[in-house]
Amino acid sequence: MASWIKRQVHRYEQMRFDQELNRRTLPFAWGLEHLETGVNGEGPRTFLRKYAEQTIASSDKWYASTSADDYTLADNILIFTSAITSPWAENNQVYAQLFPAKRKGPAVVVLAQWNARWEEQQNVCRWLQRLGISAVKMSLPYHDKRAIPGHLRADHLVGPNIGLTMQATRQAVLDVRRTLRWLKGEGFGPLGVLGASIGSAIGFITMCHEPAIHAGAFVHASTYFGEVVATGLTTTNVWEPLSTAGITADELRHFWSPISPFPYISKLRDAKKRILLITGRYDPTFSPELTGRLVSKLRNEQVEFEHMALPCGHYSMGVWPFSLIAGYRFGKFLQRNLAS
């Protein structure tokens, strides 16, 4: 029976992947110009290996963020300037939708999946509202209102440009921290984060570096950014130009380790944060093997967490009945752990 369910889930996942429009295969680039330091005459491989190690060792500094000085809120749309200046002005303005609860209290930053549209995840935010939790759905870099003209998909958040992908993911984390600063300044709290897919990875990294986050719920969980790109169904168009350029899976895992959850798990050991993982048992994008390694690492580091594995995949997590089960679980989890 399990084998039959797996085949049906994988058939559905492939169908959904094939139906996606406007998918591009962009050219490979080292993208070192998007990182904040020069290469000092080193080759790109040597530079990126050292850069990854140094960045992880000083990640508190790399992911440090201040408040924005230009927050504006109108019609429940929060706008402010990103802490990172990317090459595209459209991407440097952050937009977030506020769904205020009846009374000011707990609040959660909601981070949607890769290529999510502006109107997606709004029902999730309304569900949190009903539970007495204010929700702020923050647009990720290069998404919806932050999209680059001519790019309907967020090709520059996850792409074969190694340096740009690192800059974009770091930008996302800093944008979340600025959103949390606004919430705290407006008197909301306790604060949490809810992320799905790439939003899950960004939210997890933020939680590891942000003391203000009390609880985090993560739909889909994995180890290293590079491992997902090299093995996942939904990132085959990203992996193809990387592998064609001679980048190995091990190299990519190391290069992109600073924008991966795995290296920062030890930061959670004594942090006393509340963590929920919801994963797909037959997920061809965030593979169960990678999820299992993350779960084992959390246990080995003696980090307390809850985990629910559903008999579904990546896309199918968003359809009935799995969306209903997952939504109920993370909603009640956040309500229970953010009760003020």
Q: What's the pLDDT tens digit per position in 164-220?
A: 999 999 999 999 999 999 999 999 999 999 999 999 999 999 999 999 999 999 999
pLDDT of residue 163: 97
* Predicted confidence band of residue 39 (pLDDT cuts 50, 70, 90): low
In CATH, what class is 2-337? Answer: alpha beta
* Interatomic CA distance for residues 249 and 3, integer angstroms: 28
H or E segment and range at residue 107 = strand 107-111
pLDDT of residue 301: 96
Q: How many residues does the chain have?
A: 340
* Predicted confidence band of residue 264 (pLDDT cuts 50, 70, 90): very high
44 has pLDDT over 70: yes
* Interatomic CA distance for residues 303 and 254, integer angstroms: 24
pLDDT of residue 300: 97
pLDDT of residue 21: 81
Structure tokens at 239: 């992996």
Summarize the confidence of residues 77-98 as an average pLDDT: 97
pLDDT of residue 152: 85
- Percent with pLDDT over 70 in the chain: 98
Helices 198-209 and 162-185, packing angle to 10 deg: 60
What ranges do the domains of the chain cover? 2-337
Contacts for 56 with CB less than 8 Å, ≥ 6 apart:
257, 258, 263, 264
* Predicted confidence band of residue 248 (pLDDT cuts 50, 70, 90): very high
pLDDT of residue 36: 76
Q: State pLDDT tens for residues 301-335.
A: 999 999 999 999 999 999 999 999 999 999 999 99
